[in-house]
Structure 1
C-alpha cells in the first residue's frame, strides 16, 4: 500500500528534528478545547512556537474546510518539514495526507500523538505519546 505522506516518526524523533532543524515546524491539529484543557507542546526551549490549527472543527467535528489555506497563511512553505500531532496519531495522518496532496513534500505523522492510547484505567498521557515521553508541554 502506497503511503500518501512522508512517513511516521516517534515523538522523540520529532523533538530531535525540531531541535536541530530551524525550519522544521510542529503543527498540532487537535481541537481548540483540547488545546485549552489538555495542554500543548512547549517548544520555547527551542525558540519556536507550536502551530495550533484544528483539522476538525469542534463540536460538530467536520473537517476544517480552511485547513490547507490556513497552513499557507501561516507562512509554512511546501518544502519545510512539518511534524503533525493530534491526540493519538489518527487525525494527524489525515492532515498529512491532505497537505501532501496540496504540494507539501515533508509531512510527518507523529505516532501516538500528544496523549497516546488509554491505559488499563482508561487514562491517556501515560502509555505513549508526547506527554508520556516527558517532552516539554504546558497548559494554556
Structure 2
C-alpha cells in the first residue's frame, strides 16, 4: 500500500483530534536544534524525535523501528512522518509500513518545504509556511 501524503494542516488537525495520533519528526539532531520543532502543546503532545538518518554520516538509522515502538507506536497508531521537505519522511513512513505500522502518513513538504527564489526555506510550503505552531529548541 503506498504511503499517503497529507498536507501539514491536515496532519495538525489529526494530531489535535485523535489522541492516538503521533507526529514522528525524522530530521537530525542538528535540524531540531538549529531549525526548530513543531510545537504540539495545543494538542497536548510532543513530537517523537527519531532520526531516519544519523548525523553526520547520514547512514540510515538501523534502530528506527525499535525507536518507533519505544515511542508508543502500535499497528493502530496513526503516524505522521515529518522531515525538512518530505523525502526522508516518505522513506521512513515506507519503512514503518513494511515493519507493521500500516497507518503511516507522509507530511507533504515537511517542516520547511522547498526553497523560495532566494534559496530560503520555510516560506513556500510546509509546516512553517502554513503558519502551524513551532518553536526553537
TM-score bracket, normalised by the shorter chain, equals over 0.9
DSSP-derived class of the 2:5 partner = strand
Quote the residue 2:44 is aligned against: 47
Quote the residue 1:60 is aligned against: 57
2:34 and 2:75 map into 1 onto residues whose CA distance is 31
The yes-or-no answer on 1:96 pairing with 2:96 is no
Quote the residue 2:19 is aligned against: 22
Task: Report which stretch shifted further, 72-81 or 34-43.
Answer: 72-81
The yes-or-no answer on 1:73 pairing with 2:48 is no
| Aligned-residue offset at 1:122 | 0.2
2:48 and 2:127 map into 1 onto residues whose CA distance is 15
1:54 and 1:46 map into 2 onto residues whose CA distance is 22
| Aligned-residue offset at 1:68 | 0.5
CA RMSD of the aligned region, Å? 0.8
- Identify unmatched segments of 5+ residues in structure 2: none
Quote the residue 2:118 is aligned against: 121
1:50 and 1:60 map into 2 onto residues whose CA distance is 24
Question: How many residues of Structure 1 are paired with residues of Structure 2 in the alignment?
Answer: 137
**Over residues 11-54 of structure 1, what are the superposed CA-to-partner deviations in whole Å (9 max), with x where a residue is unaligned?**
01101111110110000000000000000000001111111110
- Identify unmatched segments of 5+ residues in structure 1: none
2:115 and 2:49 map into 1 onto residues whose CA distance is 23
Q: What is the TM-score normalised by the length of structure 1?
A: 0.96
